[in-house]
């Protein structure tokens, strides 16, 4: 069987099965949340830009842009694709503050709010967050391997991390 | 204004391009004075592009860049960004400090000294200040740029803060891009003004557009 890698761009989610891989390049304040069923090895990755849909309901917005609506939709899509709701686990990475200076502006806090909202949403949905690599001030590229359920995280000047 | 890319008509786009042209023209003049050599600018590009495509506009999400950012507040809000690849940043540092330029491997991240960082930060400050002053003079809209923030990382990650801000308005971002060149036609870097959506409308209104 050939292995395919699928790019997951900003405000997008994708679902794949082992042995495929899902990846997102250059996450800054964005978060990549991978949710998977370790038995059927069906999983999905979502590339979240903003913490919450609240206040944006009337706009022309993709639901997958936001942590709360996006993660909820990803879980629904996984169950539809044949994953078991009760076996779902999550891993996530991202949420950096790239320009960390003495900023008083809350636009630079979006990473932190993305982390919090992703965690809250997972908790609300009863999905265990088994591993994470979040915060800091470095960009990340992430690969999620459906075969192993491992997330590989690359940063520009540090060692590759696997969670 | 909603988020459909087709709805920026040609006339409005021309006006916004002219704004970008004047802004980056002033920035080029300021940089020329700073580096004591001629700097020319490209014809600026005003684009309405999907958020996810923004990193591709700058060479792909994983390309390592040295970026400077100014928060713009006041009558207009948004970000002003200067994006340099590491070779470009090194050239500016060597021109400003009068040091000989040394070639390095392109794909390794270099550590910059605090003097080198402040050289880049000051360059960003001057470029942004002159760009925004020109824009204010033309439109009568007042803006206050922040002090410069620096970041050396993957371009996708660097742009993230601007993309997140633009993402609040819709799934597209307005992007004023200009390139600066020196006498040998070597590119000095990319300048971006990323106004939020209401600011774009304000610019147009200030110039008599509905």
Task: Taking residues A59-70, report their average pLDDT.
Answer: 88
pLDDT in tens, A84-97: 999 999 999 999 98
In this structure, is the dihedral angle defined by the CA atoms of residues B184, B58, B13 and B70, taken in order, positive or negative? negative
Q: Does B38 touch chain A (CB under 8 A)?
A: no
Distance, CA of A153 to CA of A161 (rounded, Å): 5
Q: What is the pLDDT of residue A14?
A: 95
* B157/A12 CB distance under 8 A: no
Alpha helices in chain A (DSSP H): 67-80, 110-125
In a domain, B132, yes or no: yes
Q: Give the domain extent around B77.
A: 5-85+120-206
More confident residue, A5 or B209: A5
* ipTM of this complex: 0.84
Does the structure show a pLDDT above 50 at B78?
A: yes
Structure tokens at A160: 């590759």
CB A61 within 8 A of CB B171: yes
* A156/B153 CB distance under 8 A: yes
- The one catalytic residue in A16, A27, A30, A46 is A30
Task: Taking residues A70-99, report their average pLDDT.
Answer: 94
Q: What is the pLDDT of residue B2?
A: 38
Task: Taking residues B160-186, report their average pLDDT.
Answer: 77
What total number of domains does chain B contain? 1
Interface test with A, best of B53, B65, B160, B163 (most A CBs within 10 A): B160
Residue A30 is among the residues annotated as catalytic for this protein: yes
Domain A5-162 annotated CATH 3.20.20.60: no
In a domain, B200, yes or no: yes
Q: What is the pLDDT of residue A143?
A: 96
pLDDT in tens, B82-141: 888 888 888 888 888 877 766 666 566 778 888 989 999 998 998 888 888 888 888 888
Distance from CA of B35 to the nearest CA of A (A): 26
| Residue B37: band (very low, low, confident or very high) from pLDDT cuts 50, 70, 90 | confident
Distance from CA of A40 to the nearest CA of B (A): 30
Q: What is the pLDDT of residue B3?
A: 38
Nearest to A25 by CA among B110, B191, B54: B54
Which CATH number fits the domain that encloses residue B51? Answer: 3.40.1550.10
Nearest to B154 by CA among B79, B92, B87, B86: B86
């Amino acid at each position: 069987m050939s292995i395919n890698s699928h790019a997951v761009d900003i405000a997008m989610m994708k679902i794949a099965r082992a042995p495929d891989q899902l990846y997102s390049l250059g996450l800054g304040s964005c978060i990549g949340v991978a949710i998977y069923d370790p038995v059927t090895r069906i999983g999905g990755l979502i590339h979240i830009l903003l913490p919450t849909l609240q206040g944006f309901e009337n706009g022309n917005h993709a639901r997958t842009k936001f942590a709360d609506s996006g993660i909820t939709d990803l879980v629904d899509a996984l169950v539809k694709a044949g994953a078991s709701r009760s076996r779902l686990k999550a891993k996530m990475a991202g949420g950096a503050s790239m320009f960390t200076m003495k900023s008083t502006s809350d636009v630079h806090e979006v990473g932190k709010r993305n982390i919090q909202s992703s965690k809250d949403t997972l908790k609300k949905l009863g999905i265990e967050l088994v591993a994470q690599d979040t915060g800091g001030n470095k960009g990340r590229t992430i690969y999620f391997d459906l075969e192993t359920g491992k997330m590989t995280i690359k940063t520009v000047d540090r060692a590759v991390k696997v969670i | 204004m909603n988020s459909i890319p087709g709805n920026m008509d040609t006339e409005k786009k021309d006006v916004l391009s002219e704004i970008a042209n004047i802004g980056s023209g002033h920035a080029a003049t300021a940089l020329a004075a700073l580096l004591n050599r001629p700097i020319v600018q490209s014809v600026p590009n005003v684009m309405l592009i999907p958020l996810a495509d923004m990193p591709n506009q700058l060479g792909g999400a994983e390309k390592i860049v040295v970026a400077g950012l100014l928060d713009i507040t006041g009558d207009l809000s948004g970000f002003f960004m200067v994006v340099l690849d590491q070779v470009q940043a090194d050239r500016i540092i060597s021109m400003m400090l009068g040091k000989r330029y040394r070639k390095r491997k392109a794909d390794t991240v270099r550590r910059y000294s605090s003097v080198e960082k402040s050289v880049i930060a000051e360059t960003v400050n001057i470029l942004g200040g002159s760009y925004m002053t020109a824009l204010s003079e033309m439109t009568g809209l007042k803006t206050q740029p922040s002090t410069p923030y620096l970041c050396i990382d993957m371009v996708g990650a660097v742009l993230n803060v601007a993309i997140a801000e633009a993402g609040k308005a819709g799934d597209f971002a307005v992007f004023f891009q200009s390139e600066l060149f020196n006498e040998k036609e070597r590119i000095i870097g990319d300048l971006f003004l990323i106004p939020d959506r209401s600011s774009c409308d304000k610019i147009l209104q200030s110039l008599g557009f509905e």
